[in-house]
Amino acid sequence: MFVELSDDILAKIFGFLDASDVLQCSLVCKSWYRVAFGNQIWYDLCERYFLPKSLKSLLTKLEENAISISKSRCSESANLGSWEFGFVQSSRQTLGYESTDSEGSDSSTAAEPSTILCGTKSCCCHGRKRLAVLITHFINDAEDSYNKYSLFKEFCLYFSRGSNYVSRIVKVLDTLETFCRRANLAAARTLLPGVDDNCIVEHVGNELPADLYCLYRLCSGQYIPSDYSQFQGILGGYLFYDVLVDCNLSSVCSMQVSELGNRRILKIGQDMFWYNNRGSQGLFIDLETKHVIELTQNHYVIASNDIVTYLEKYVNDLSSNSLMVDRNTKQILRFCLCPTYSGYSDVVTGYIRIQATCLFVPGISKFSHFQEQDEFVFAYRIRISMLSSAPSHYMFRLEQRHWIVTDTDGHVENIRGPGVIGEHPIFHPGSVFDYASCAPLRGPVGKMKGSFTFRPLHHEPGSEIAAPFIAQVGELHLNIFERYRFPPDSPERYLQLQKRWERDKSF
């Protein structure tokens, strides 16, 4: 019966199958063989496995990122000189970027890059040119332009492992760069070209999980300028007191496999991290489980099941405007401004609006089998503003703060003090003040709420603001389980809390 189906019907049926199943069907008979190798079927498979049809901008990025990266070097001792790539020249001449992007990028310049780029002189040149050719054929819809089955095989050869991740990674990179360009962030122009197989094998061997392998074939990390006066981490960061976290994708050449207990881990996200000289943290991949992990002082927590899921969650937060962007440094901040997130509050008292958000900081936290030694540090960021609708003569000075912090066991701590972070900011209609601080807990969950006392500096006699008044800060739920998980070898009391959260999604 199936042999008698028309070619059009067979083609529609085959369109729902995976590549291996289509090849199996081609062995049934001559008519199935003819349909199974139709151009449209393999064009659709290319789109499904590798390159979404709507993301043609990748070809432009391949050209821009691979143009004349002069005086770049793979190590401090090996200067490779000028690399010629043969692409059509564009407005961006180097990764030191003079940009005239139409989507709002500034025209500022940066110093010529002098950091590690990739493993060999040919890894960007040959590999990126070949991928650009494949994408060009993919975009060209002409029936006689290229045999689409051959094109599929070429893509499979280029991405020799984990081809099912490629389409998702392309979407992530495209969304990431689009957001950064529209927000006029310098990080938009720091992603490096992908690398070839021999570069990956030379520096990492064959230990990369398939999804991470595909990521580095498309994007080999991030260029970090020698003048690190402003944050450039593509994965965002935050700063409070003497703690600076700024996460960026490390290049293949700087990736190292190390030991964590009986596990082998690979560092994929470098960061700058200072806190009483405790050293650097960053993102890691557990090579056995593929989990994305972050180190604590004496253990680790799981941030995601794999790197692609981690990046997808991150760019989804960016696209939905759930993450903050620092207006001065143009840095992506990991603090979440999302009403559905329990670590966020937004309260208006009179004409004063207070937004508060928090996040768990693994690098300076610790947990063990001895609860009295545990310290779970949560950073929080406060944005205080006076509404523009306030009367023009209103002017307030922040006098005092009051916080009520409750930890996992219900222990309550009251914190009072003058001003915030040693300052007494003054507010008038439309003014905004941001600051960040931290709150340590003796467990992985807790809550905090508080208030600020304001004193009027200028008012009319007999007005309603003649005396100091209190502006409330909405309750923040401090909860690591919304972004992290404990590994199986963690203390049982924390695993029990985790199970409770996974079951009820509340405490």
For the chain, the first-to-last Cα distance in angstroms comes to 59
Would you give the distance in Å from CA 173 to the centre of its chain? 10
pTM of the model: 0.79
Q: What is the dihedral of CA 498, 500, 505, 507, to 10 degrees?
A: -100
Which CATH number among 1.10.3720.10, 2.60.40.1470, 3.20.10.10, 3.30.2130.10 corresponds to the domain 337-504?
Answer: 2.60.40.1470
Angle at 423 between CA 435 and CA 447, to 5 degrees: 45
The enclosing H or E element of 4 equals: none
The pLDDT tens digits for 95-138 are 222 222 333 333 333 333 333 344 334 444 455 567 777 777 77
Residues of the chain with pLDDT below 70 are: 1-3, 52-129, 141-146, 226-230, 273-280, 340, 371, 458-466
Q: Does domain 2-37 have CATH number 1.20.1280?
A: yes
**CA gap 5, 31 in Å, rounded:** 10
Dist CA 395 CA 383 (whole Å): 17
- Output the six-digit token pair for 118: 């990739």
Q: Are 403 and 461 in contact (CB under 8 A)?
A: no
- Residue 92, pLDDT score: 23
Q: Where are the domains of the chain?
A: 2-37, 57-222, 237-313, 337-504
